[in-house]
Amino acid sequence: MNSAAFRNTAFSYAYDELPEQHNEGNSQGIDFLLLMEERGIRANCQTFLWLLEGCLNSGSRLDAWKLHAKILKLGFYAEQSLCDRLLDVYIAYDDLNGALKVFDDMPKRAVSSWNKIIKGFVARKLSSQVPGLFWLMLDEKVNPDEKTFAGVLRACGGNDVPFKYVELIHARTIIHGFETTPLICNPLIEIYFKNGFVNSAKKVFDNLLERDSVSWVAMISGLSQNGYEKEAILLFTEMHISGIFTTPYTFSSVLSACTKIGLFQFGEQLHGLVFKRGFSSETYVCNALVTLYSRRGNLTSAEQIFNAMFQRDGVSYNSLISGLAQQGYGDKALEVFKKMHFDCLKPDCVTVASLLSACASVGDLLKGKQLHSYAFKAGMCSDIILEGSLLDLYVKCLDIETAHDFFLTTETENVVLWNVMLVAYGQLDNLTESFQIFRQMQIEGIIPNQFTYPSILRTCTSLGALDLGEQIHAQALKTGFQFNVYVSSVLIDMYAKHGKLDTALEILQRLKEDDVVSWTAMIAGYAQNDMFVNALKLFKEMQDRGIQSDNIGFASAIRACAGIQALNQGRQIHGQSCVSGYSDDISIGNALVSLYARCGKVHEAYLAFDKIFDKDNISWNSLISGFAQSEYFEEALSVFVQMNKAGLEINSFTFGSAVSAAANITNIKVGKQIHAMIKKTGYDLETEVSNVLITLYAKCGNIDEAKRQFLEMPEKNEVSWNAMITGFSQHGHGFEALSLFEDMKQLGVLPNHVTFVGVLSACSHVGLVDEGISYFKSMSELHSLVPRPEHYACVVDLLGRAGLLSRAKRFVEDMPIEPDAMVWRTLLSACTIHKNIDIGEFAARHLLELEPKDSATYVLLSNMYAVTGKWGCRDRTRQMMKDRGVKKEPGRSWIEVKNSVHAFFVGDQLHPLADKIYAYLRDLNMRAVENGYETQSNSLLSDAEREQKDPTQTIHSERLAIAFGLISLSSSSPVHVFKNLRVCGDCHNWIKHVSKISDRVIIVRDAYRFHHFEGGVCSCHDYW
């Protein structure tokens, strides 16, 4: 033993031999140091280490300061071990300034010193400064060890350190080879979960070479807290099978996960395992069990566990109170609340917060205010949790004024409260106040979290404020939330709902994690924008990646199937949703109703509708709109009537679908009845509702009422202009349509593809060939619109009606896209009218290749041969049609008289008033001849066929319908007749004369347009 060691040993023995009273007091270390000096024994480094250890044990701060002074005086300030022990002493005394003084004076700072000072900063909750210390340490070329990284990561676990530092520090752990140790990985797992980066946490866990119980618990609790409860439970199962010791805290986390997703049966099985492992008396396990049974509604079991607990704490009471309140047993919850006082347990903020949350969920503002008063008297109102619950109470009860007043009295550093206020003004669609709150957050330096941005972004989405939403997006990028799945899912939803699907897809593709909410938001976005194929492709890609779809994903995919009428695929996806546990989900049920209705499966649609237990407006709307879109218009209106009788609230979407159904069957009476309901409910001010009303009146022949609806609209969009332009075009008011189009452009409303269909049709109906061609060219040259097949068909119709068939043929041959059946059919129809066999046969050949089963092609071709006297060709065409099993659609006309629709066919003798109709028709014919009408020969029949035919058998259906209308309707009522085929020239001429001799307005809607006959003149001016 050397002399210094001997002196220290002797000094230690001497110290121990002193009487006990001399060991008391703050100056004992200094006294012995003086004693050593008196005996000529010089203290060395080891002496001071021993004395400082004594200070740590005794808690003598004054002694430590004096020892520190002696150390400096004797020149031991450069000793590494002494400096480290001094750091321990100052940090233990919570004297960070003293520790920093020691740290700063150290000539050389080892990694252990840095670790101690980092630990001190974390203990003093100065976490925001720790990353700076870490980078300074690296600048001094000091290599961090495991403890360094563990300390820095503990600092990053709070909200004071921006998340970007976590990724940088994680990268450093990999560089230094610590990426597989539990000391580093466990806090990393917790941090990644806390910030919503689930996949990153999983990767850290997977890289662990040796997982301790803390690692498993961190993963299980993290998955549960981030909405991955199923994965948490599966991981627990893996842990259990692997034979790893399960702690009570693990059971508590897994039971909580079961509660969150409603896996109550599995939770009950876990209860048995808890009992078997001997943890049934553990308080926090029992607390989780109380919550499990309470949420399931099994309050008897919950109360039994609660009453059997050896030791109940505040959480025990809170669990039962919360369960009782959520199950609607508010009175019982208050009784338990009172019992806490009798058990000498003081209710804490969580207790009151649970009761406040219950009041908020049921809208009991009065009871909530009473609890607020109690909390105020108890001095709890400054508690962060309670502040949030109180604010949430007022917001959910829509007492926003009180909420705002209370918010101003709170500690505004709490970001949760700011988020609640953002939600509050979002509920009121008050974007101005929402943005003001958000701006004030920035001014006061409140750091947003992952819930801040979604709160205001949702308001931007609902109000269509995309510009502001993009600004918020930029802020989210600056603060490092570009990869946060929660923020990203809301951004995807916002951009998708505003039609910016490319931007939404870029956000999805940049995500580092496969987040189901983000994927389903993108799938829903595609479906909402009618990009059904893209939606289904993305849905398949999501499944291929192993991402389990949620109910929204399944519902969106089924709606996409409905959009393209992919019935079998929709059924398969529905089957997958049932396997995944969503068989009773209402959103999937509604989507299934829409699928069957839009595919024309009436019976299956009603069955799917009846299976929905708690139908909402979407359920009814899915049925109505689905039937309307699949052309089951009568069914749609029938469901609408049932919905109205059931007393359900009808919204603008419902009205729109019902009016659209009435318009498509030209049921003006029902349409007007629905219009009256719309006025009573105030929806006539809604733009979309007014748009369908314009279409209703236009399709039912009342163009003046359609125009009035258009002019009285408070706000118009491009659909409004398109509906009116199309209406004018269909009624032969071509010049009015074109004038309206010019007005539309002057007001800055951008035309779209639908607009130009109306414009080109208007030009066609009034023979404006050059103007029509000019408008067609302007689509691509001025408006950046690529013409579609329907636009090319309009140009062919424009040229064909004008008799420019060779030019129309060249136009078709020069098309940059492959002509479809509509284009060829339009050309063939023009050839029939203008008797051009060569071009007609050219068009018919292409048309028969595309649609060999379409009866219209054979009829047009047959008629073309008939009008040109090619009877043999006509007969061969008819025979070919018969051989191929193609049936001709018979000509039919119908008219509504006294709430009944009367249909007529050619030479129809089945009507009850047939004799009276034919007698009146003979009288009309005689008067028409006297007025100058000359019968055109029926060129579709040969002379021999006309001689063999009974004249009454060739009377076209529209004449019978008009005759019936004239004898059945009052003289002041216009006669509205609808026909499924084009009116022939002879009937058109006849109706002109009839309108004059009867002094009646006759409106005929054929397959191409409306004809308004009045005073012997037609609105088409004989050009149709």
Q: How far apart are CA 560 and CA 489, in angstroms?
A: 20
Query: Nearest-CA neighbor of 764 among 754, 753, 775?
Result: 775
**Of 873, 889, 905, which residue sits at a domain end?**
889
The secondary structure of residue 1017, as a DSSP letter, is E
Selected residue with higher pLDDT from 754 and 137: 754
- How distant, in Å, are the alpha carbons of 405, 764, 780, 798, 863 from that of 801? 72, 7, 24, 6, 17
Average pLDDT over residues 366-378: 83
Weakest mean pLDDT among 47-51, 595-599, 858-862, 1006-1010 = 47-51
Residue 719 lies inside a defined structural domain of this protein: no
Q: Which two tokens stand for residue 740?
A: 């309206």
The pLDDT of residue 771: 95
Q: Which two tokens stand for residue 612?
A: 């929905």
Highest mean pLDDT among 477-491, 832-846, 939-953: 832-846
In terms of domains, do 884 and 989 share one? no
Assign 727 a pLDDT band (cuts: 50, 70, 90): very high
In terms of domains, do 858 and 906 share one? no
In terms of domains, do 377 and 445 share one? no
The helices-and-strands tally (H runs, E runs) of the chain is 56, 6
For 235-286, the pLDDT digits (tens) are 888 888 888 878 888 888 888 888 888 888 888 888 888 888 888 888 878 9
Phi, psi torsion values for 623, nearest 5 degrees = -70, -45
Query: Nearest-CA neighbor of 828 among 859, 788, 872?
Result: 859
**Of 889, 917, 944, which residue sits at a domain end?**
889
In terms of domains, do 493 and 465 share one? yes
Residue 798 in this model has a pLDDT that exceeds 80: yes
In terms of domains, do 979 and 869 share one? no
In terms of domains, do 885 and 898 share one? no
Phi, psi torsion values for 955, nearest 5 degrees = -75, 120
- Residue 311 CB partners (closer than 8 Å, separation 6+): 283
Q: Give bridge partners of residue 978 from the DSSP assignment.
A: 894, 1005
Weakest mean pLDDT among 141-150, 402-411, 942-951 = 942-951
Assign 32 a pLDDT band (cuts: 50, 70, 90): low
Can you tell me whether residue 348 is helix, strand or coil? coil
Residue 391 lies inside a defined structural domain of this protein: yes
**Residue 19 burial (10 A CB sphere; 0-12, 13-18, 19+):** exposed
In terms of domains, do 379 and 425 share one? no
Q: CA quadruple 528, 533, 536, 542: dihedral positive or negative? A: negative
Residue 2 lies inside a defined structural domain of this protein: no
Average pLDDT over residues 982-1007: 92
Assign 939 a pLDDT band (cuts: 50, 70, 90): low
In terms of domains, do 909 and 978 share one? yes
In terms of domains, do 964 and 937 share one? yes
In terms of domains, do 879 and 898 share one? no
Contact 287, 315 (CB under 8 A): yes
- Residue 900 CB partners (closer than 8 Å, separation 6+): none
User: For the chain, what is the mean pLDDT?
Assistant: 85
Weakest mean pLDDT among 665-674, 736-745, 794-803 = 665-674
**Of 475, 509, 543, which residue sits at a domain end?**
509
Assign 397 a pLDDT band (cuts: 50, 70, 90): confident
Pairing of strands 975-979, 1010-1014: unpaired
Q: How far apart are CA 832 and CA 863, in angstroms?
A: 7
The pLDDT of residue 29: 59
The pLDDT of residue 852: 92
Average pLDDT over residues 306-314: 84
The pLDDT of residue 111: 85
The pLDDT of residue 23: 39
Q: Give bridge partners of residue 892 from the DSSP assignment.
A: 905
Residue 822 in this model has a pLDDT that exceeds 90: yes
**Which domain, by its residues, includes 855?**
788-889
Average pLDDT over residues 428-440: 81
The pLDDT of residue 949: 56
Residue 302 lies inside a defined structural domain of this protein: no
Q: How far apart are CA 736 and CA 728, in angstroms?
A: 7
Contact 705, 697 (CB under 8 A): yes
Residue 996 in this model has a pLDDT that exceeds 60: yes
Residue 862 lies inside a defined structural domain of this protein: yes
Cα angle at 494 between 490 and 497, to 5 degrees?
Answer: 135
For 629-672, give the DSSP string. Answer: HTT-HHHHHHHHHHHHHTTPPP-HHHHHHHHHHHHHTT-HHHHH
Q: How far apart are CA 1001 and CA 1007, in angstroms?
A: 20
Counting the structural domains of the chain, the total is 4
Can you tell me whether residue 1004 is helix, strand or coil? strand
The pLDDT of residue 10: 34
Q: Give the end-to-end CA distance of the chain in Å, rounded to a whole number.
A: 123
Buried b (16+ CB within 10 A) or exposed e, 427-439: eeebbebbbebbe
Residue 723 lies inside a defined structural domain of this protein: no
Q: CA quadruple 256, 261, 262, 267: dihedral positive or negative? A: negative
The pLDDT of residue 132: 83
Query: Nearest-CA neighbor of 482 among 166, 169, 163, 202?
Result: 163
Average pLDDT over residues 620-626: 92
Assign 948 a pLDDT band (cuts: 50, 70, 90): low
Residue 187 lies inside a defined structural domain of this protein: no
In terms of domains, do 420 and 479 share one? yes
Q: Which two tokens stand for residue 7?
A: 């002196």
Pairing of strands 975-979, 1002-1005: parallel
Q: How far apart are CA 496 and CA 32, in angstroms?
A: 78
Residue 18 in this model has a pLDDT that exceeds 70: no
Assign 534 a pLDDT band (cuts: 50, 70, 90): very high
For the chain, the maximum distance between any two Cα atoms, rounded to a whole number of angstroms, is 152
Residue 82 lies inside a defined structural domain of this protein: no
Q: How far apart are CA 1005 and CA 980, in angstroms?
A: 8
**Starting at the edge strand that comes first in sequence, how are the strands of the sheet with 975-979 ordered?**
900-905, 892-897, 975-979, 1002-1005, 1010-1014, 1017-1018
Assign 597 a pLDDT band (cuts: 50, 70, 90): very high
In terms of domains, do 955 and 885 share one? no
Q: Which two tokens stand for residue 548?
A: 């389990």
Residue 228 in this model has a pLDDT that exceeds 80: yes
The pLDDT of residue 583: 82
| CATH code: domain of residue 877 | 1.25.40.10
